[in-house]
Amino acid sequence: MTDFAKTDLSGYNIQYIKGVGEKRARLFNKLGIYSVRDLISFYPRKYQDWSKNTSILDAPEGETVAIKATMITPVKEALIRKGMTLYKCNFSDGQNVIHVTLFNNKYLAKSLRTFDDYILYGKVEKTFTSASMTSPQIEKLESANGIHPIYSATEKLNSRAIAKVVKTALDAIPHIDDTLSDEIICRYNLCSLDFAVRQIHFPDEEKNIDIARRRLIFEELLTLQLGLLKLKDKKETVNNLPVKKDCTNEFCKLLEFELTNAQKRAIAECIDDMSNDSAMNRLIQGDVGSGKTAVAAAVMYSAVKSGYQCAMMAPTEILANQHFESLSKLFGGTDLRLALLTGSTKAKDKKQIKADLMDGKIDIIIGTHALIQNDVEFKELALVVTDEQHRFGVEQRATLAMKGKNPHLMVMSATPIPRTLGLIIYGDLDISILDELPPGRQEIRTDVVTSVYHERIYNFIKKAVDGGNQAYIVCSLVDENESELISAKEYAEELQTKVFTGYNLGLLHGKMKPKEKDNVMSAFARGDVQILVSTTVVEVGVDVPNATIMLIENADRFGLSALHQLRGRVGRGRDKSYCILVSDNKSDSSRERLQVMKSTNNGFKIADYDLKTRGPGDFFGKRQHGLPNLVIADMLGDMDTLKECQKCAEEMLENDPKLDRYPALCESINNMFRKTDY
Ligand code: ADP
Ligand code: MG
């Protein structure tokens, strides 16, 4: 064991840590832990403080506490039925007695000795005359003191077992070498990495947890920033594909509507970028319905008129189909040649399309991931547009960008992130904001109600559907233990059989294959499905103008920004649209939050409020930003650190562009950006 003193921690398989072995190593693997480095980077989820103990008398009923007590009666065993043994014994803290019951825990029961001192950790139940604890954690007083780490465990590998292995590993590492220079550590007021790693697992006192966290968050965000800056650096910046003329006026004649000023501004910024010395790298950020597609179409039009090809990539097939249809219609009267390439394109057609792309017989190709495959080649690809950018990773963007002579990049996103944050996480992009909705958009009427109103809501939906409209019903998890799948399925079944008999319901949930999702979504878009019951996977960006009702169950469980995105699925056609938020949560903060949804349709305002009131971790939802997953840092919650890290990263790269002085950090950067699976 001591032989990993010469710290190749990443290369040291956990299998060889004392007490692990091949079989348990596999359990660790399930948690993503393979090397000693992975193990010591597997931070506790929370802590239990066993050092603050209370007397039996003072222990509040129903709360989890630590009690220091002596065992005063031997363990009594009772077999209550086959496979269920109870162990009972009594403890005293010198003044009062507490009864302890253990279920089936023979190992623990047999280890207890009368007159020994222990710490009992668990919930206390009280009656007028007695106190008791059921299945508490019990440890010998000598070994129990202090703050205990709690890890995310699995069925076969509990938190205690993980803690023990982490302890063994840390004890065998004489010193964890620092990744940062003393100067940086000092300047940013950080503790050493060695201290941070040891204290995050086994803090000597509570305040050390924060000190350790600060260092580890700093390390992670710095790695992220360095990675992003290097990525930006790798990118060629010269403009090999200048757009020679601005054909926006000509393009406008194709539209049935006037562009908004915001759209005009964004288009001008793009064309300006593309005719300048360096290639375009621009994020078009606009609320749902702000008309991002028209901006992309205009910019592509000018690019094609300069003799180039364009590619537009969407995260799902149905979205790619929709873009293809609407752009085909828009460009119907022109000489622009469009094609669609997705996973479902027939092999024969695919071959033809690829050949045509190479020959320059296609001007605009629209598609999904299929577009970034190796065998797709272009004659003169000048512009790559990615829609709903947050679904794509930085890397994917980069792959598509490799396909030409450094083509211009335009990414479109409806996720309204605050500008300051945008600049940091999309550090390599310029940003245009569409802060204006096309005129004449109807406000979506939003109501917040309790579940008492269900019957009325259902009738309201029936009436709308009978009149030819469609509705979304979004349900989230009812409780953590329930699988998303089951709750959505059950709910859909209940609705179909008990409420909406005779109507066509569709079900969409996260466990479905992309193809299945597309099928359901397409059926809904065609109008074959009248009511779509869904978990939160309602596809971003899909246009079903006929849908006029968005019903969201347990609305308080969603972030406001997520609610706003969902609401944006309706109000896309001519008919008056409604968003109904159902919530039985009576807390003031929850009510107030939902009222914000009622009071404004402005995504940026909502995002701001969301940011201020809800834990920032929820803000993006999962994987909304297309950046690597962070283990400990929280992009928004740790905003200040993020800013510090950006500055620090810039300075480091200025002094040492290849980061020669920081080999360990280089390894972390590679790991972080490699691990990202999009
Ligand atoms: P998003 O920004 O959410 O992607 P879309 O590009 O899908 O929005 O546009 C939403 C709808 O608004 C489309 O039906 C589109 O034709 C329409 N639209 C876009 N720009 C304008 C405009 N300036 N005036 C009127 N309608 C517009
Ligand atoms: Mg869109």
Pairing of strands 338-341, 364-367: parallel
pLDDT of residue 7: 52
Highest-pLDDT range among 77-81, 200-204, 341-345: 200-204
Calculate how far, in angstroms, residue 390's C-alpha sits from the geometric centre of ligand 2.
Answer: 12
Instruction: Report the pLDDT averaged over residues 439-444.
Output: 81
User: For residue 176, is pLDDT > 70?
Assistant: yes
Please enumerate in sequence order all residues whose Cβ is within 8 A of that of 31, keeping only pairs 6 or more positions apart, or say none.
42, 152, 154, 157
Instruction: Report the pLDDT averaged over residues 182-195.
Output: 95
User: For residue 447, is pLDDT > 50?
Assistant: yes
Instruction: Report the pLDDT averaged over residues 270-278.
Output: 93
Q: Which residues line ligand 1 (CB under 6 A)?
A: 257-260, 263, 286, 288-294, 414, 438, 541, 543
- Closest ligand 1 atom to residue 259 Cα is 23
Q: What is the pTM of this model?
A: 0.65
Calculate how far, in angstroms, residue 438's C-alpha sits from the geometric centre of ligand 2.
Answer: 14
Cβ–Cβ contacts within 10 Å for residue 223, how many? 25
pLDDT of residue 402: 67
pLDDT of residue 428: 62
Instruction: Report the pLDDT averaged over residues 546-564.
Output: 88
Calculate how far, in angstroms, residue 441's C-alpha sits from the geometric centre of ligand 1.
Answer: 10
Q: Which residue has the higher pLDDT, 278 or 633?
A: 278
pLDDT band, residue 636 (cuts 50/70/90): low
Q: Does residue 174 contact residue 4 with C-beta atoms inside 8 Å? A: no
C-alpha triplet 658, 402, 355: angle, nearest 5°: 160
- Closest ligand 1 atom to residue 263 Cα is 23
- The neighbouring-strand residues paired with 138 are 120
- Closest ligand 1 atom to residue 568 Cα is 3
In this predicted model, what pLDDT tens digit does every residue of 132-150 receive, in sequence order? 999 999 988 887 768 889 8
Q: Is 117 helix (H, G, I), strand (E, B) or coil?
A: strand
What b/e sequence results for 70-80 when a residue is b if at least 16 CB atoms lie within 10 Å of its CB, and e otherwise?
Answer: ebeeebeeeee
**467, two tokens:** 């009149």
Ligand nearest to the CA of 434: 1
Q: Give the residue carrying structure tokens 């577009």.
A: 371
pLDDT of residue 131: 93
Q: How many residues does the chain have?
A: 678
Instruction: Report the pLDDT averaged over residues 87-104.
Output: 94
Report the mean per-residue pLDDT for the chain. 85
In this predicted model, what pLDDT tens digit does every residue of 211-256 receive, in sequence order? 999 999 999 989 988 887 876 666 667 888 999 999 999 999 999 9
Calculate how far, in angstroms, residue 23's C-alpha sits from the geometric centre of ligand 1.
Answer: 57
Q: Where are the alpha helices (DSSP H) in 173-316?
A: 182-187, 193-201, 206-234, 248-252, 261-275, 292-305
Q: Residues 358, 362, 368, 373: what is their CA dihedral angle, to the nearest 10 degrees?
A: 0
In this predicted model, what pLDDT tens digit does every residue of 411-429 receive, in sequence order? 888 766 655 566 666 666 7
Ligand 1 pocket, mutate which of 293, 318, 577 (most atoms under 8 A from CB): 293
Ligand nearest to the CA of 258: 1
Calculate how far, in angstroms, residue 374's C-alpha sits from the geometric centre of ligand 1.
Answer: 33
pLDDT band, residue 490 (cuts 50/70/90): confident
Calculate how far, in angstroms, residue 367's C-alpha sits from the geometric centre of ligand 2.
Answer: 14
Please enumerate in sequence order all residues whose Cβ is within 8 A of that of 616, keeping only pairs 6 or more positions apart, or say none.
634, 635, 636, 637, 639
**395, two tokens:** 């890397």
Ligand 1, atom 15, residue with closest C-alpha: 291
Ligand nearest to the CA of 312: 2
**Alpha-carbon gap, residue 217 to 222, rounded angstroms:** 8
In this predicted model, what pLDDT tens digit does every residue of 497-545 receive, in sequence order? 999 999 999 998 877 887 888 889 889 999 999 999 988 666 565 778 8
Calculate how far, in angstroms, residue 525's C-alpha sits from the geometric centre of ligand 1.
Answer: 17
